[in-house]
Amino acid sequence: MKAEDTFGQISHDKAEDTVKIDENSFRRLIDRNPVAMAVADKKGNFLHFNNRFLETFGYTIEDIPTVDDWWPLAYPDEEYRQRVMRGWGAAASKAIENKKDTESQEWRVTCKDGTLRDIEFRMASLQDVNIVIFSDITERKKAEEALLEQERYMTNLIQNSPMATFVLDCSHKIKIWNKACEELTGCKESEMLGTDYQWQPFYSRKRPTVADIILDGSYDKLPVLYKTYSKSALNPKGLKAEGWYNSLGGKKRYIIFEAAPIFSSKGKLLAAIETLQDTTESKNLESDLLQQALYDSLTGLPNRILLRDRIQNLYNHKKRQPEVCFAALFVDLDDFKKINDSLGHMIGDELLLSATKRLHDAIRPGDTISRFGGDEFVVLLDSVSGTEDAIKVAQRIHEVLLEAFHLESHEVFISSSIGIALSESAQDNPDNLLRNADIAMYCAKESGKSRYVLYDACMHDAVINSVCIENDLRKAVKMGEMSVHYQPIVDIRTNTVAGFEALARWLHPDKGYIPPMHFIPVAEKIGLIDEIGASVLKKACMDIRKLNSDYSYDPPLYVSVNLSARQFNNMLPQVIAQILTESGFEGGNLRLEVTESTIMENILTASSVLFDIKTMGVQVYLDDFGTGYSSLNYLHKFPVDALKIDPSFTRNIREDKQAMEILKSVFKLANSLDMKMIIEGVESQEALSVFRDLDFQFLQGFLFSKPVPQEKLFALMNKSRFIVDATL
């Protein structure tokens, strides 16, 4: 039975005060009540305690016969007892004054066994007695205290959390604004508590925070208010949003907002909690890493990774709209390495930056420029109507790069080789497009540089063939497929062989002999020329030394060996000296052939190398004279011993009067500089007769012999003498 029921049974109107209550019935009613109850007369003497009272407090009538006896036992602490007595006295006076029951009060009572219990008191006043009802609320108080303790703990936890956090109640008022939130936003807790100003640190006008959206359930506002948002990974009912904000302490910050609802044990929404995570540093680091991963550090241009991604996007677009056409222009700065090596890397970097600016000026809005690597750029034209559009852009790029670059105190000129490739099938891929543009650029370089070339399928076949040659050449050098053949140089005045030109030959297992003009450029390109050149030189020295030793020619035969421009460097004299030592060949019997272009490309290095070579007794022949610079100004400054006249001057020599006059002039020039002159490409008796009439001494050509291997040299010596004798 509830206390209120008891009051219903035992209370009565003043009009019924005269009703006589049966004492025994009254006692039985009190005793059966599940709430502790005590009955006292108007003088303060206790008349009866029900069973629940005895069970709750342990006191009997004998222990506390009067109310005055109750106070010191129930409230042994003097200060606390006085508080209770004042509170109870005030409540009793008010109840008497209003002729009502006292309002309930809550006090902690000391039981007979010393335990403390929380009790809710109420007193009903009847005609002759007062009934005090004691409701034991100890367990409820414990639960409330535990709940308060938990709330205090959570509040303390939030307040001291390093994560900026605030809590809103269901009316969108701020209940908690922790210290970290103060530090992040600059807004003090005292200013924020109890307000709905949670938006102020982030926005210039009022708008919902993520916590507000959760409280309202207005999830449709999320995509309108936040560019980046998602469900919370920590709470299935939570939300997450993020972005840059400029108003936080006057600094630009990247904040991650994450909010979740707070429910009661019965599922009622009580509040919403929101955390603010400042990830500016990690976002900047992420941005830096992304910049490094996708952009060139020098120029700031997209690198090949980002370029490939953009090309793939265009292919994806082409799948939806097959008529879309785009193009890639592969741009290579011609001879950039020379500028970089001669003027330094700082000037080289400035040149690349200036070239980047000019490329931007030459392209259309929306097109992409990528630095592919080194001195290579790719321009991606995202929309072209056909080859004409791509060619127009290539022409503009070619023209703007031809203009002089003013870099510090240097005026630099460069040209560009440009390969153009257009998108084909939508099923194609970025790698193929870039490969095709690269192949076209390579063809532009092979065609003489400073031009643009449009890709076609035949180029791919040529490149595949070139790759096969490269691979086969590497194997040939490793497997010893390279050999040396010799072509005689004949002294027609003495009818003898003066020496031989050593020529590298490659016997391919499937393709047979491959001429030097086909594999020497490949060897230069892939870095095998030094190895091939050194092996040819050493083999030639050993073969001609053996020939001289076996047959005691007097004067001894010499051997002439061609040098590639790639071999012509400061290490060359050391290589030659080592080969002469290892082969036992006399330096005076060695001739090295270099072209005019090789010398003129780097005059200072050439001069130094040639003079070092001369100290070993080695003679220097200027090969293919008349086809290159033919710079008479420099000719006398270099230690050149002979000029080798290119075969283009010997063809149809009798009919070509101009060529004959040139040869006469060169012959006089050579004599005046104390140089020999050797005519190459002599293939007919008629040519031989002309050169004899001009009193030229040294000839070389198929008339005497094709190049032959070492084992046929002795037979060749006799055959060459016979051919010369037969023409006398």
**Interstrand relation of 368-373 and 228-231 (parallel, antiparallel or unpaired):** unpaired
Neighbour-count burial for 37-68, b at 16+ CB within 10 Å, e otherwise: bbbbeeeeebbbbbebbeebbebeeeebeebe
Where residue 244 falls among pLDDT bands split at 50, 70, 90? confident
Which residue type, as a one-letter code, is found at position 253? Answer: R
- Strands of 251-263's sheet in order across: 174-177, 164-169, 269-278, 251-263, 239-248, 228-231
Chain centroid to CA 106: how far? Answer: 70
Residue 728: the pLDDT is 37
Contact partners, residue 332, CB within 8 Å, separation at least 6: 375, 376, 377, 416, 417, 418, 441, 444, 445
Residue-wise DSSP of 684-704: SHHHHHHHHHTT--EE-STTT
Give the position of tokens 């194609």: 428
Instruction: Say whether pLDDT at 501 is over 80.
Output: yes
Q: pLDDT digit string (tens) for 433-490? A: 999 999 999 999 988 899 999 998 888 887 788 788 889 999 988 888 899 999 999 9
Which residue type, as a one-letter code, is found at position 342? Answer: S
Three-class DSSP category at 599: helix
* Distance in Å from the first CA to the final CA of the chain: 152
Residue 249: the pLDDT is 62
HSE-CB for 681 with a 13 A CA cutoff:
13
| 8 A C-beta contact, residue 237 and residue 219 | no
Which candidate, 164, 720, 258, 686, places its Cα nearest to that of 496?
Answer: 720
**Interstrand relation of 410-412 and 116-125 (parallel, antiparallel or unpaired):** unpaired
Where residue 184 falls among pLDDT bands split at 50, 70, 90? confident
If one counts every other C-beta atom within 10 angstroms of the C-beta of residue 358, the result is 17
Overall average pLDDT of the 371-391 stretch: 93
713-726 vs 529-551: helix crossing angle, rounded to 10: 70
Torsion of CA 556, 557, 558, 561, to 10 degrees: -160
Distances (CA, A) of 631 to 627, 634, 661: 11, 6, 18
| 8 A C-beta contact, residue 437 and residue 330 | yes
Which stretches does DSSP call E strand in 36-81?
A: 36-41, 46-49
Give the whole-angstrom CA distance, residue 478 versus residue 344: 36
Contact partners, residue 303, CB within 8 Å, separation at least 6: 294, 295, 296, 370, 371, 372
Give the whole-angstrom CA distance, residue 681 versus residue 492: 15
Give the whole-angstrom CA distance, residue 677 versus residue 642: 5
Long-range contacts from 256-259, C-beta under 8 angstroms, 24+ separation: 257/209, 257/210, 258/210, 258/232, 258/234, 259/209, 259/210, 259/211, 259/213, 259/214, 259/232
Three-class DSSP category at 563: coil
Of 152-156, 452-456, 551-555, the range with the lowest mean pLDDT is: 152-156
Give the whole-angstrom CA distance, residue 552 versus residue 199: 105
Q: pLDDT digit string (tens) for 650-690? A: 877 877 888 888 888 889 988 988 999 999 999 999 999 99
Give the position of tokens 């060897």: 523
Which stretches does DSSP call E strand in 126-248?
A: 129-136, 164-169, 174-177, 228-231, 239-248
**Interstrand relation of 619-625 and 642-645 (parallel, antiparallel or unpaired):** parallel
Distances (CA, A) of 440 to 331, 445, 465, 672: 10, 9, 15, 48
pTM of the entire structure?
Answer: 0.52
| 8 A C-beta contact, residue 294 and residue 303 | yes
Instruction: Say whether pLDDT at 527 is over 80.
Output: yes
Overall average pLDDT of the 173-186 stretch: 90
Contact partners, residue 417, CB within 8 Å, separation at least 6: 331, 332, 334, 441, 444, 445, 449, 450, 451, 452, 453
Helix-strand-coil split of the chain, %, nearest 5: 45, 25, 30
Residue 722: the pLDDT is 43
Overall average pLDDT of the 592-619 stretch: 88
Where residue 726 falls among pLDDT bands split at 50, 70, 90? very low
Instruction: Say whether pLDDT at 21 is over 60.
Output: no
Q: Six-digit token pair at 139?
A: 């367990």
Instruction: Say whether pLDDT at 11 is over 60.
Output: no
Where residue 719 falls among pLDDT bands split at 50, 70, 90? low
Residue 587 DSSP one-character state: G
529-551 vs 572-583: helix crossing angle, rounded to 10: 30
Instruction: Say whether pLDDT at 8 is over 60.
Output: no
φ, ψ for residue 81 (rounded to 5)? -60, -40
Give the whole-angstrom CA distance, residue 178 versus residue 217: 25
